[in-house]
Amino acid sequence: MHNKILFFVGWLFLLTLPFHAVSQQDYPNHQQLSDHLQQMARNHPDIINLKSLTKTYGGKDIWLVTIGRGTVTERPAITIVGGVSGDRIAGTELATQFIEKLVARASNDRNISALLDSITFYVLPDMSPDAREQYFAPLQYERFGNAKPADLDRDGKVGEDPYNDLNNDGMITLMRIKDPTGNWMKHPADERVMVKAQPEKGERGQYLVFSEGIDNDKDGQFNEDGEEGVFFNKNFSFKYPAFTRGAGEHPMSEKESRAIADFLFEAKNVFAVISFGPANNLSEPLRYNERDASGRIPTGWLEEDIKINQMVSLAYNQHMKGNKLPGDNDNNGQELPEEHDTEYDIDTDETKSSPPDNRPLSERLDLSNGKGIPGSDGDFFQWAYFHYGRFSFSTPGWWIPATTDEAPGSRGSRNGNRAANQDSNPELEFLRWAERENINDVFVPWTPISHPDFPGKEAEVGGIKPFVKKNPPYELTETLATKHLEFVLSLASKRPVTEIMNVNTESLGNNLFRITVDVVNRGSFPTVSQLGQRNRWVQKTVVRITPTENQQLISGKMIEVVDVINAQSSLERSWLVRGKGNLTIRAGAESTGFSEVSVSL
């Protein structure tokens, strides 16, 4: 009996621990995610509200987590979105851990607790649950589409050319076929990696390269029409890529895209959207393009909004930066571990190397100054800016840190010497990084197979495993989530805040009074983005004076809509009122909060 009591008490203790502290060793599947969100909502009913916006065709909930106290819809809000692309499973984890870490901090930090009285966080952890679940399926491949049946190759048939696991390892990688007509070759620096030959440099292709599979419908393509349906990140209305694979029948045709759009259009208090996806304007801001920005329908960020992007990008890089080691050299903003801080000694023909850095990878992780990646047609990141009218920030959350044993000037060079490893090749960079960090099990060795579509030809299956190049080892998510939490909190501290200040009343005689106030934006963001000023769905600042029945407004607007109040700026408003008594002045918007003063005349 004593042992049973101890066992029961032990289980109660485990249930009180944070989800990730108990047993999680790998990314959670959708059911585990749902259980965790429901548990957090039960544990923190005062600050968390959990709601399912819809269910996907695969029967999975699209969860919305609202964090805040009081009237959450009338305070500035930040929306955080994970699962923008089904192959970026880490984004869902970072969004989920943001919730977990924020509520934990709110329990112990008075400043964070007070913050939740003045700002709202909307978190949608996974917008592609059908696609993300492929990571946990018996056959693993990077999937983008939901569970809705779709004719991806537009041949009038559905699902007739699915993925085929030819080497029975439970993963879809690549296959290479030796063929003199092919335009692929082995990389001179690492034969595991396949690259396209450059005839202008004397290179000759020797291989055909395809996704691992069989051409079931005999159209010359492989795996082009499997189980997956419409891609969440291709189904939005800005620059919608009509008639392309995964885009859907029309913009917003899917339950997932409609659900988030319907919610956000109702969420008038959102001033910024942060998404974890392929686009990246955080580690490197977008650049102003006057031609794109000045068109009748802008397709590039407007100039004032670019300045905000630059400010936010600077803050992001500060939070993503790793700890600088003694003796490190600066390499395009990347702080390099000492073990690879090498130089070549011409006199002795020997390589000098600094002592190895034995700290855990999570402690020396530096993701500052990563490569900027603009959005793609029909994606969520661009829609949130151009059609929703809010500041939209996107990051993959993690990318391959720059390797430190590259030749000088090699990173970013497309025309370098491959044999000397001076070309920019993502696969090569990833394999080198994994080897440096002792991260194993990321590559399937090339294995000979007999392929029915290429009889008599040398065929092999192999390559980098699915998901590993786009998502960090799970053990790194704790550090990454902490860095992103701190960044989001810094962004929240810069939110636009409307306040009425310097209230002055002046008696002009004959029962007439002049009232003057300053309407101030105390934040580092403008009250509305420059593009948002042109968007009817963005709530602008409203200044309203409400006299009593015994008072008469002689001059000045009773209700005025202000296009924008810039960051840390103010505007002065004045009214003439006849009649004594009390009146109120109210200014603000849902995305900046409201300020109200009572004036006695």
DSSP per-residue letters across 390-441: SEEEEE-S--PPPPSSSPTT-TT-SSS-TTTT-S--HHHHHHHHHHHTT--S
Q: How far apart are the first and last CA of the chain?
A: 77
- Which pLDDT band, with edges at 50, 70 and 90, does 371 fall under? confident
Whether residue 572 is predicted with pLDDT greater than 80 in this model: the reply is yes
Helix 89-108 to helix 30-43 angle, to the nearest 10 degrees?
Answer: 10
Residue 116 CB-half CA count within 13 A: 21
| pTM summary value | 0.86
- What gap in Å lies between CA 408 and CA 421, rounded to an integer? 10
Give every strand in the sheet of 498-509, ordered side by side.
498-509, 512-521, 569-578, 552-555
Which of 330, 327, 336 lies closest to 366 in space, CA to CA?
Answer: 336
pLDDT of residue 159: 54
Q: Give the per-residue pLDDT at 363.
A: 62
pLDDT at 7: 41
Q: Which residues of 131-162 are buried (b: 16+ CB within 10 A; e: fewer)?
A: bbbbbeeebbbbbbbbbbebebbeeeeeeebe
- State mean pLDDT over 151-176: 77
Kindly list the structural domains of the chain, giving each domain's residue range(s) and its CATH number in brackets, ordered by start: 30-149+228-322+365-398+471-494 (3.40.630.10), 151-227+437-468 (no CATH), 498-600 (2.60.40.10)
For the cut 80, the answer to whether the pLDDT of residue 354 exceeds it is: no
C-alpha 54/C-alpha 130 separation (Å) is 13
pLDDT band at 155, cuts 50/70/90? Answer: low
For 22-43, the pLDDT digits (tens) are: 456 899 999 999 999 999 999 9
Residue 133 CA to residue 329 CA, distance in Å, equals: 42
What tens digit of pLDDT does each residue of 256-313 get? 999 999 999 999 999 999 999 999 999 999 999 999 999 889 999 999 999 999 999 9
Residue 470 DSSP one-character state: T
Q: What are phi and psi of 247, to 5 degrees?
A: -80, -20
Say what the pLDDT of residue 223 is.
Answer: 65
Q: Are 431 and 463 in contact (CB under 8 A)?
A: no
What is the pLDDT, as a whole number, of residue 358? 58
pLDDT in tens, 62-101: 999 999 999 999 999 999 999 999 999 999 999 999 999 9
pLDDT in tens, 408-460: 334 444 455 676 666 778 899 999 999 988 998 999 999 999 998 899 999 99
Residues 473 and 27: their CA atoms lie apart, in Å, by: 9
> Would you say how long the chain is, in residues?
601
